[in-house]
């Protein structure tokens, strides 16, 4: 899961050759902005057939690949 | 006592020469915003005062005194001059909120160029239409954004230079590219500031309308007069303040009040170049002892959403004065801020075209939560009938906001679009395109836009631009874009889409279209919701009736449908 999400974020949101790690700050680091979070949330929901409540999709919960994985695992059955 | 003192006394016999005198400016003198924001403060004896305290997303901090601001902006100005950039050439700033953006802005103005700041999240298509309209000569950017410029470079023969402020020395630059490292550059102590005058162009900011391409709002150096005074009287900037304007200089608040207003008043301002999080923002206020905080309703509502527990972790007692801009500040947010910070956010109303605040709440004035406040002294504003363009003259009626032209920072034209500029005036009034009412005490109350432009998070998005981008997606046959209500952003973009034969609406297609628009235009313009439908409501002449879709989203009456195609 970590690798899939990291690759997706790199492909969709990284504009140059920056190498992401699983802990690279995505939101506070300015890689994914608050508007783009909506599309990242949609990707996670589609990919893992889950529904993430809006109040759980916070900048803090989306701030790294590792944090996103923790969030996604809460909803994957 | 606040800087403005009594609002009622200030509006009597107000004259903009109050600001001119404070700035030692006389009509006919040279006036250069870059000089006023750096050299002048040094000449007044404040060269060693911190001007800019910048913090990046990794926690790295950079500090510049006014003297360093002066010399660094000289250095950029000289670099541009040496490149052959001429006065009034357009120089685009396409960067995150890094120091080079703030200093570069002043450097461009000092060498007589026209600064053209653009939001760094713009996609290549959004970038191209704005550079093409301005026929931009040079763009200053970061290596992370360079690929977007390279993608469109071929189409822009007029763009002579792409200046990269953090170029990787190990990687070769391409044709027309040049590296410029401000930190390593030899600092220029003496620089001949270009002699600009009141009506010399200073700045091009792009804004969106309902139809057509984005419009380049042209401002002049004389805008300083109202930007300086509104900063002093509304933001109440004091010599001792540590000021934080959260806006990005890719938009007008970030230049009028994140650069010009702040530096011309000689205050110390802080910049946080990091994504939003409540924890990080409160930490930033505590760390730098921010006293004046100018932010936006979207951010304030995001802070409300984050809850109050996080506030208790930080000492925010340095906060003295709060203000807000970008979209109407709802009364709940005003009441909330008074409760949690001990002071309300004061709403300020203005737009790219006005260049400075028009209708605002003032320190010391009775605040009516949810109200826009009253006109700034010297600003004649009212509400007029949308048919006759005459003022109502009685309180409570909803009409178009109208402002009598003539304040210093009013736009001078839309770049290469004089025809659209002229349409902004009716019956001797400038019409910002918003509706409101005025109560019996003279307070303005915002109602909404008078057109289809979407205000999302304080930024205007043209439905036309989004619809045009959608039509370039291989699956999209037709599209209609409207605003959808949203708690945090007030409005977000919603797209109704019909598909070409062979395509079926699905979650994956939905995401693909979202990302397509995001990359082409910007994250702001990306539809946050896409609804696949069989056909769009149209008039019998084939025009899409956005009004019907808008009404559906807002739970409003659909109104007259007599011209509907299938009615």
Per-residue model confidence as pLDDT tens digits over B514-547? 999 999 999 999 999 999 999 998 887 777 888 8
- Decide: helix, strand or coil at residue B508: helix
Nearest CB to A35; choose among B273, B511, B526:
B526
> B228 phi and psi, to 5 degrees?
-65, -50
Give the chain B residue whose CA is nearest to the CA of A11: B515
> A interface toward B at CB cutoff 8 Å?
12, 15-16, 18, 25-36, 38-39, 42-43, 45-46, 55, 58-60, 63
Tokens of B533: 């439908």
Cα–Cα distance, B410 to B224 (Å, whole number): 11
Residue range B118-160, pLDDT digits in tens: 999 999 999 999 999 999 999 999 999 999 999 999 999 999 9
Nearest CB to B515; choose among A12, A18, A35:
A12
Q: What is the pLDDT of residue B451?
A: 85
B508 in A contact zone (CB under 8 Å): yes
- Helices (H) and strands (E) counted in chain B, each on its own, are 19, 28
Q: What is the pLDDT of residue B360?
A: 97
Q: What is the pLDDT of residue B449?
A: 83
Give the chain A residue whose CA is nearest to the CA of B510: A42
Q: What is the pLDDT of residue B558?
A: 74
Q: What is the pLDDT of residue B325?
A: 94
Disruptive mutation site among B126, B523, B527 for chain A (greatest number of A CBs within 10 Å): B523
Mean pLDDT of all residues in B302-330: 94
- List the Cα angle B467/B465/B537 in 5-degree steps: 30
Q: Closest approach of chain A CAs to the CA of B67, in angstroms?
A: 30
- Choose among B397, B402, B400: nearest CA to B386: B400
- Choose among B344, B380, B378: nearest CA to B362: B344
Residue % of chain B over a pLDDT of 70? 98
Nearest CB to A29; choose among B275, B508, B518:
B275
Tokens of B303: 């802070």
Count interface pairs A-B at CB distance under 8 A.
75
B280 in A contact zone (CB under 8 Å): yes
Indicate the average pLDDT of chain B: 95
Mean pLDDT of all residues in B447-459: 88
DSSP result, B315-373: --TT--EEEE-SS---HHHHHHHHHHHSSPEEEEE--TTT-S--EE--TTSPP-TT--B
The string over B174-197, giving b where at least 16 C-beta atoms fall within 10 Å of a residue's C-beta and e elsewhere, is eebbebbebeeeeebeebebbebe
The total of other beta-carbon atoms located within 10 Å of residue B132's CB is 15
Mean pLDDT of all residues in B435-464: 91
* Cα pseudo-dihedral B137, B140, B145, B149, rounded to 10: 10
Mean pLDDT of all residues in B478-501: 94
Cα–Cα distance, B539 to B542 (Å, whole number): 5
pLDDT at position B62 over 80:
yes
Cα–Cα distance, B453 to B463 (Å, whole number): 6
The total of other beta-carbon atoms located within 10 Å of residue B502's CB is 7
**Tokens 């606040």 sit on residue:** B2
User: Could B523 and A18 be called an inter-chain contact, meaning their C-beta atoms sit closer than 8 Å?
Assistant: no
Nearest CB to B523; choose among A18, A35, A46:
A35
Residue range B277-294, pLDDT digits in tens: 899 999 999 999 999 999
B145 in A contact zone (CB under 8 Å): yes
User: Could B507 and A15 be called an inter-chain contact, meaning their C-beta atoms sit closer than 8 Å?
Assistant: no
Give the residue, B451 or B45, on which the prediction is more confident: B45
Mean pLDDT of all residues in B413-417: 96
Q: Annotate B438-487 with three-state secondary structure.
A: ECCCCCEEEEEECCCCEEECCEEECHHHHHHHHHCCCCEEEEEEEEEEEC
Q: What is the pLDDT of residue B496?
A: 96
Q: What is the pLDDT of residue B51?
A: 98
Give the residue, B397 or A77, on which the prediction is more confident: B397
For chain A (length 77 residues), average pLDDT per consecutive 10? 95 88 92 93 96 92 96 91
Q: Closest approach of chain B CAs to the CA of A42, in angstroms?
A: 7
Name chain B contacts of A28, Cβ cutoff 8 Å: 57, 274-275, 277, 280
pLDDT at position B48 over 90:
yes
- Helices (H) and strands (E) counted in chain A, each on its own, are 3, 0
- Number of alpha carbons in the 13 Å side-chain half-sphere of residue B235: 34
Name chain B contacts of A36, Cβ cutoff 8 Å: 518, 523, 526
Nearest CB to A60; choose among B147, B277, B518:
B277
pLDDT band for B563, please (50, 70, 90 cuts).
Answer: low
pLDDT at position B567 over 50:
no
Distance, C-alpha A76 to centroid of its chain: 15
pLDDT at position B555 over 90:
no
Q: Closest approach of chain B CAs to the CA of A5, in angstroms?
A: 15
Q: Provide CB contacts within 8 A for B287, sequence distance 6+.
A: none
The string over B96-123, giving b where at least 16 C-beta atoms fall within 10 Å of a residue's C-beta and e elsewhere, is bbbbbbbbbbbbbbbbbbbbbbbbbbbb
Name chain A contacts of B276, Cβ cutoff 8 Å: 27, 34, 59
Helices (H), B84-223: 99-110, 124-134, 146-153
pLDDT band for B210, please (50, 70, 90 cuts).
Answer: low
Chain B from 526 to 555: CB within 8 A of any A CB: 526, 528
């Amino acid at each position: 899961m970590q690798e899939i999400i990291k690759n997706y974020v790199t492909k969709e949101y990284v504009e140059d050759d920056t190498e992401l790690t699983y802990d690279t700050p995505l939101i506070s680091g300015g890689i994914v902005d608050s508007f783009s979070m909506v599309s990242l949330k949609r990707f996670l929901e589609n990919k893992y057939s889950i529904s993430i409540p809006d109040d759980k999709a916070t900048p803090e919960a989306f701030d790294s690949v590792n944090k996103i994985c923790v969030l996604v695992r809460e909803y994957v059955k | 006592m606040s800087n403005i003192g009594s609002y009622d006394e200030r509006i009597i016999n107000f004259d903009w020469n109050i600001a001119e005198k404070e700035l030692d400016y006389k009509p006919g003198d040279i006036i250069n915003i870059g000089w006023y924001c750096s050299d002048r403060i040094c000449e007044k004896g404040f060269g060693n005062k911190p001007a800019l305290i910048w913090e990046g997303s990794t926690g790295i901090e950079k500090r510049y005194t006014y003297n360093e601001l002066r010399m660094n902006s000289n250095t950029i100005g000289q670099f541009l001059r040496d490149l052959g950039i001429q006065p009034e050439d357009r120089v685009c700033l396409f960067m995150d909120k890094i120091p080079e953006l703030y200093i570069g802005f002043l450097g461009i103005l000092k060498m007589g160029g026209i600064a053209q700041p653009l939001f760094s999240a713009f996609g290549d298509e959004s970038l191209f239409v704005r550079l093409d309209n301005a026929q931009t000569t040079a763009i200053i950017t970061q290596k992370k954004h360079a690929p977007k410029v390279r993608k469109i470079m071929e189409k822009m023969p007029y763009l002579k230079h792409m200046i990269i402020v953090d170029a990787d020395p190990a990687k070769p630059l391409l044709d027309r590219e040049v590296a410029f490292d401000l930190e390593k550059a030899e600092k220029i102590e003496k620089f001949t500031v270009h002699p600009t005058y009141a009506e010399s162009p200073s700045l091009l900011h792009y804004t969106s309308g309902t139809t057509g391409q984005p419009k380049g709002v042209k401002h002049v150096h004389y805008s300083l007069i109202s930007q300086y005074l509104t900063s002093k009287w509304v933001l109440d900037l004091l010599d001792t303040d540590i000021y934080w304007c959260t806006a990005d200089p890719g938009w007008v608040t970030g230049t009028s009040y994140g650069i010009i207003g702040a530096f011309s008043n000689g205050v110390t301002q802080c910049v946080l170049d990091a994504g939003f999080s409540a924890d990080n923002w409160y930490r930033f206020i505590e760390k730098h002892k921010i006293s004046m905080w100018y932010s936006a309703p979207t951010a304030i509502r995001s802070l409300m959403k984050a809850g109050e527990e996080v506030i208790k972790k930080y000492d925010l007692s340095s906060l003295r004065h709060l203000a807000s801009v970008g979209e109407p500040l709802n009364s709940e947010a005003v009441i909330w801020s008074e409760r949690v910070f001990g002071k309300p956010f004061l709403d300020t109303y203005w737009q790219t075209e006005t260049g400075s605040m028009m209708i605002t709440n003032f320190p010391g004035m009775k605040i009516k939560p949810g109200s826009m406040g009253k006109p700034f002294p010297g600003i004649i504003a009212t509400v007029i009938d949308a048919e006759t363009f005459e003022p109502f003259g009685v309180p409570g009626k909803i009409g178009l906001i109208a402002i009598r032209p003539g304040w210093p920072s009013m736009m001078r034209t839309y770049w290469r679009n004089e025809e659209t500029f002229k349409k902004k005036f009716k019956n001797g009034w400038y019409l910002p395109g918003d509706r409101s009412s005025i109560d019996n005490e003279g307070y303005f109350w915002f109602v909404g836009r008078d057109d289809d432009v979407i205000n999302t998070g304080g930024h205007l998005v043209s439905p036309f631009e989004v619809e045009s981008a959608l039509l370039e997606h291989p699956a999209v046959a037709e599209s209609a874009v409207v605003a959808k209500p949203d708690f945090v952003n007030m409005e977000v973009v919603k797209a109704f889409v019909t598909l070409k034969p062979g395509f079926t609406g699905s979650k994956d297609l939905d995401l693909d279209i979202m990302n397509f628009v995001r990359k082409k235009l910007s994250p702001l313009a990306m539809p946050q919701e896409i609804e696949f439908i069989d056909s769009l409501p149209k008039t019998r002449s084939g025009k899409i009736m956005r009004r019907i879709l808008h009404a559906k989203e807002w739970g409003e009456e659909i109104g007259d449908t007599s011209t509907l195609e299938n009615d």
